[in-house]
């Protein structure tokens, strides 16, 4: 075997090994499970349920006893929808639009007919102790 054949064999072997290494180094799938803070300092707790997700609680981050009343939560066709009622404010319905690791884009509507979009960010702050 001449030097060119050896070099070619080396390159082919190297490329195959790299392809195998790259294909086995797949990242862990991202999950929406966790705590998500909106721009009004409300934190939503999302948990896994069956093959989807469910909102478990929503609360205002800076009040230890301020839990918003969770009215509903559903997960259909990859979209998580939940409705909650903050104390003395209109109820809000949120619906996921996209998820990218540490950001969760949602649309929202409230009982006053207002609507918009916002991005929730992952936070490591859970429900305050009572």
Q: Encoding tokens for residue 70? A: 């969770």
Query: What's the confidence (pLDDT) of residue 69?
Result: 86
pLDDT per position as a tens digit, 52-108: 999 998 887 776 666 788 999 999 999 999 999 988 889 999 999 999 889 999 999
Model pLDDT, residue 118: 96
Question: What's the longest Cα–Cα distance across the chain?
Answer: 83
Of residues 65 and 1, more confidently modeled: 1
Q: Check: CB of residue 107 under 8 Å from CB of residue 114.
A: no
If pLDDT is split at 50, 70 and 90, which confidence band does 11 have?
A: low
- Is this model's pTM higher than 0.85 or not? no
The residue extents of the domains of the chain are 34-123
Comparing 25 with 98, which gets the higher pLDDT? 98
CA distances from 53 to 74, 91, 93, 96, 107 (A): 8, 21, 16, 11, 17
Could you give the CA distance from residue 72 to residue 93 in angstroms, rounded to a whole number? 9
- Residue 14 scores a pLDDT above 90: no
| Nearest-angstrom CA–CA distance, 60 and 121 | 15
Give the residue-averaged pLDDT of 40-46. 90
Contacts of 109 (CB under 8 A, 6+ apart): 92, 93, 115
User: 3-class DSSP state for residue 48?
Assistant: strand
| Residue 7 burial by Cβ neighbours in a 10 Å radius (0-12, 13-18, 19+) | exposed
CATH of domain 34-123: 2.40.128.30
């Amino acid at each position: 075997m001449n030097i060119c054949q050896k070099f070619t064999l080396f390159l082919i072997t190297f490329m195959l090994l790299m392809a195998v290494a790259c294909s086995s180094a797949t990242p862990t799938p991202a999950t929406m499970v966790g705590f998500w803070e909106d721009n009004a300092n409300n934190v939503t707790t999302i948990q896994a349920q069956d093959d989807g997700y469910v909102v478990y609680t929503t609360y205002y981050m800076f009040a230890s006893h301020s839990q918003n009343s969770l009215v509903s939560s559903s997960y259909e066709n990859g979209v998580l929808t939940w409705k909650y009622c903050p104390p003395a404010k209109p109820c809000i319905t949120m619906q996921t639009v996209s998820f990218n690791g540490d950001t969760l884009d949602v649309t929202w509507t409230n009982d006053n007919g207002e609507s918009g979009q916002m991005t929730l960010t992952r936070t490591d702050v859970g429900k305050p102790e009572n």
